[in-house]
Chains A and B, each alone.
Chain A
Amino acid sequence: MLAPSERASPRQWAARVAGEEGIVAARQQAREVAKDLGFGLVDQSRIATAVSELTRNVVRYATGGQGDVLIRELEPSEKGIGIEVIVRDDGPGIANVEQALREGFSSGTGLGMGLPGTRRLMDEMAIDSAPGRGTTVSIRKWRR
């Protein structure tokens, strides 16, 4: 692993998500960045699948089926090397985030679908949402 100063600019990738091509592009890119950061095969699969779930929710439920995805390398911290993915949409939003994270709950609107499963695949997940304000989901994973 190179020291931070020797490394190229942090890996970062941003794109508009629209349609199933956007889902595949985002999960492929997430896998690329994760691989680049030295994550193992299982973590690559977890990260790519989590991104697939989140972007799929955008395509299915957000207004116009569109949103934005940002994939980036985190600043190295005491937790080590990390990857972060932020998925944002202007969809209907989630009224009760806690409920959306409960097993078996699915509102069928916005990013609320499949969130418990996605959270299990990652180390950290944060959701910022309110009705009419859209939804932003941030997920992180640290390299063991």
Chain B
Amino acid sequence: MARVPIIRLGEVLIATVQEELYDHDALQLQEDLGQLLEHGAARGVLLDLSTVATVDSFLARLIGAIAAASRLLGAETVVVGLQPAVAVTLVELGLTLPGIRTALDADKGLAILAHLGPDARSI
């Protein structure tokens, strides 16, 4: 098990999730992001799942919960880098991450967050 590292880039928090994410670390990530959002002025969260091999219902629901909580704390979440095989599996499981912005890679994800602008949360 290993804590998911979170780095700050401007007003965006970037979390790069490792290949095999244990439940414990996923829950820790949720808590860590909540604390960082509470204390700082980040307005975006970028979750990089490009190396994650398996996203099951637990992790999919947790990602939804992270995005929903971040939104309440004034930050939009973008999930980037989902592997095609993971995307197909999620759809078949019936978990399509409704309401969560996605992008192919971190560059495009950051571009989405940049376009939201500083007042995006009030729109």
Q: Does A42 contact B (CB under 8 A)?
A: yes
Q: Tell me if B84 counts as interface (CB < 8 A to partner A).
A: yes
Q: Does A56 contact B (CB under 8 A)?
A: yes
Nearest CB on A from B90, distance (A): 8
Please pick, from B23, B24, B53, B56, the residue contacting A53 in the complex, using a CB distance under 8 A.
Answer: B56
**A121 x B93 contact (CB < 8 A):** yes
Q: Is A21 an interface residue (CB 8 A)?
A: yes
In the complex, the answer to whether B56 meets A24 with C-beta atoms within 8 Å is: no
B54 CB-CB contact with A under 8 Å: yes
B77-101: which have CB < 8 Å to A?
A: 83-86, 88-89, 92-95
Q: What distance in Å separates the Cβ of B57 from its nearest Cβ neighbour in chain A?
A: 6
| Interface residue stretch chosen among A5-13, A43-51, A91-99 | A43-51
CB distance from B94 to the nearest CB of A (A): 5
B58 nearest CB neighbor, chain A only: A56
A-side residues, CB < 8 A to B, are: 20-21, 23-24, 27-28, 31, 41-42, 44-46, 48-49, 52-53, 56, 114, 116-118, 120-121
Residues of B within 8 A of A52 (CB): 54, 56, 58
Q: How far is the CB of B107 from chain A (nearest CB, A)?
A: 23
Minimum CB–CB distance from B64 to chain A (whole Å) comes to: 15
Is residue B106 within 8 Å, beta carbon to beta carbon, of the partner chain?
Answer: no
User: Could you list some 19 contacts between A and B, CB below 8 A?
Assistant: A21-B22, A24-B20, A31-B53, A31-B54, A45-B53, A45-B83, A45-B85, A45-B89, A46-B88, A46-B89, A48-B54, A49-B55, A49-B89, A53-B93, A56-B56, A116-B94, A118-B93, A120-B92, A121-B93
Beyond A24-B20, A118-B93, list 12 extra A-B contacts (CB 8 Å). Answer: A27-B54, A27-B56, A41-B84, A45-B83, A45-B85, A46-B89, A46-B92, A49-B55, A53-B57, A56-B56, A117-B92, A117-B93
Contact A20 B23 (CB under 8 A): yes
A27 to B53 Cα, complex, angstroms: 10
Residues in A with CB closer than 8 Å to B24 are: 20
